[in-house]
Amino acid sequence: MKTYDFIILGAGSAGCVLANRLSSNPNFNVCLIEAGPKDKDIRLHVPIGFAFFGTTSRKYNWGFDTVPQKEFEKVTVTEPATSMVDSAGGVHEVQNEVEDHRKGYQPRGKTLGGSSAINAMLYVRGHSWDYDHWRDLGNEGWSYKDVLPYFKKCEHNEVHDNEYHGQNGPLNVCKIRHTNKPTEDFVKTGSTIFGYNDDFNGENQEGIGFYQTTQKDGKRCSAAKAYLVPILDRENLTVLTDTHVNKIVIEGNTATGVECINEEGEFFTLNASKEVLLSSGAFGSPQILLRSGVGDASDITKHGIDHKIDLPGVGKNLQDHIDYLSVHKYNSLSLIGFSLRSIFIKYPFEILKYIFTKTGLFTSTIAEAGGFIRSRGDIEVPDIQLHFAPAMVVDHGRTNVWGHGLSCHTCLLRPKSRGEVTLNSSDPMDDPKIDPKFLSHPDDMKVMIDGYKKMMKIMNTKPFSKYTSKHVQRPVDLSDDADIEQAIREEADTVYHPVGTCMMGNSDMAVVDSSLKVHKMNSLRVVDASIMPTLVGGNTNAPTIMIGEKAADLILDDWS
């Protein structure tokens, strides 16, 4: 039975940071465990490749579904076939169709780098207000002033070198190496209405502009590429891929190791002499805790698992960005899409351009521009985020659309709805039961409607309106709030930012303290987006990397 000082569960955005920083001390023996395979697929490194993971197998993408969302529109669902015997004794397979509320889709990375290996690579930190709010909730050391040094520590920014940005950090941040007229027109038009912003991570967040991206030399710069690849030769670091975690081994109230399952299905145990660090994300971390007997007894014992530590907040407080896309068809080769001209003329040229210069279409993040706006003038900070895509995106890209067009997301930044993650069973190979309870708070729909109208001001204003005046995929009457609401219930879904299920704080529902140590336990911390007490106003990859950096310092300080 092998023993390590630190065992990190999950090689995602935070886990890769921990592996790098902790193994920098040659006296510490570190093991990093990842359920997915190594990140060898070319689509994980060519930026636009992520757009093709929604329609493929679950090798690099957990591809979770939520439970039916009660506030979503009902759809016809085909149930699994059942066997029926006719009067002559013949057996027939019968398909049953029923109506149920639409499920949401939750893609999550399943490889080295986690979701940073399959995301849209946008570098967005959130608003300074968010971190000051964490502090005001009782989390000492997590104000914007406290976390800014860690954002700067992780970053090498090719665009900005000032008091808000870092140089010489592992994570490369740069401009998108792809330009097109529709995206430029979106920024030009949006800026006349909401103002221009050349840095959403600087002094002010509000306005319209181009996104910065986590790429380097035209390739994806995932957390694995930034933090893990440069240190894989360290003798004190062991990286296990294709290895599932069944549970954390707990003796009394102390985490002493982990029980794992290798690629052949064999169980084995690893010991941790100092700490187990849980970095499996907003879905994986609570799932592992519950399987280990940590959480609310009612969520654990019904699956035949021994209840060990009473922490009712495990899996609760799930928050996610609900998002609605307006999709428009427009026949232009400057837009990403499939047509005979693009397949036989444009894409061969773009492939050569990428091979020889690492520029052009294949470096696109799809969500190339956007911004942060306020749904009403009387609120303190932006509550709506826009992502503009020079492509028609339908059902997370899982529905192939012929032709060219564009889309724009309207994303609710601080939803009041709260959901939960629980177990479907004790089987470590089973998916978690995910219920975001989208739109369950009535205020969320009100803000979404107001935000959608503000977004459509850009879409319907010259010069941009030439792209959207015709051929909208789902026509919406902007003068009718009921029609906007109906469209949202029919098609809105996540924009991939689940957080909060192992909340940091001091309340009865908190799971970790401000040092990210699990309450009522020893030698166990949670380090990932699940510790966020509230959702930040922006994309969550950069904040999760920041959490990893800050946690590494906390751990090193404790064991120095």
Looking up residue 525, the CATH number of its domain turns out to be: 3.50.50.60
Q: Do 406 and 483 reside in the same domain of the chain?
A: yes
Give the number of domains in the chain.
2
- Which positions are annotated as active-site residues? 497
* 68 in any annotated domain: no
Q: Do 14 and 130 reside in the same domain of the chain?
A: yes
Question: How confident is the model over 110-149, as pLDDT tens digits?
Answer: 999 999 999 999 999 999 999 999 999 999 999 999 999 9
The whole domain housing 339 covers: 177-210+322-412+440-491
Whole-number pLDDT of residue 397: 85
* 94 in any annotated domain: no
Whole-number pLDDT of residue 472: 77
Whole-number pLDDT of residue 95: 64
Q: Do 472 and 385 reside in the same domain of the chain?
A: yes
Q: Do 356 and 463 reside in the same domain of the chain?
A: yes
Q: Do 333 and 474 reside in the same domain of the chain?
A: yes
Let me know the angle formed at the C-alpha of 368 by 108 and 462, rounded to the nearest 5 degrees: 135
Query: Which positions of the chain have pLDDT values less than 50?
Result: none
Q: What is the DSSP string of 363-419?
A: G--S--EEEEE-SSTTSSS--EEEEEESB---GGGTS--BEEEEEEEEEESS----B
* 130 in any annotated domain: yes
Q: Do 185 and 297 reside in the same domain of the chain?
A: no
Whole-number pLDDT of residue 398: 85
Are 492 and 448 a contacting pair, CB within 8 Å?
yes
Whole-number pLDDT of residue 91: 64
Are 193 and 178 a contacting pair, CB within 8 Å?
no
Q: Do 50 and 184 reside in the same domain of the chain?
A: no
Looking up residue 455, the CATH number of its domain turns out to be: 3.30.410.40
- HSE, side-chain direction, 13 A CA sphere, residue 52: 11
Whole-number pLDDT of residue 545: 98
Whole-number pLDDT of residue 88: 61
Can you give the pTM of this predicted structure? 0.95
Q: Residue 254: CB partners within 8 Å, gap ≥ 6?
A: 521, 522, 523, 524
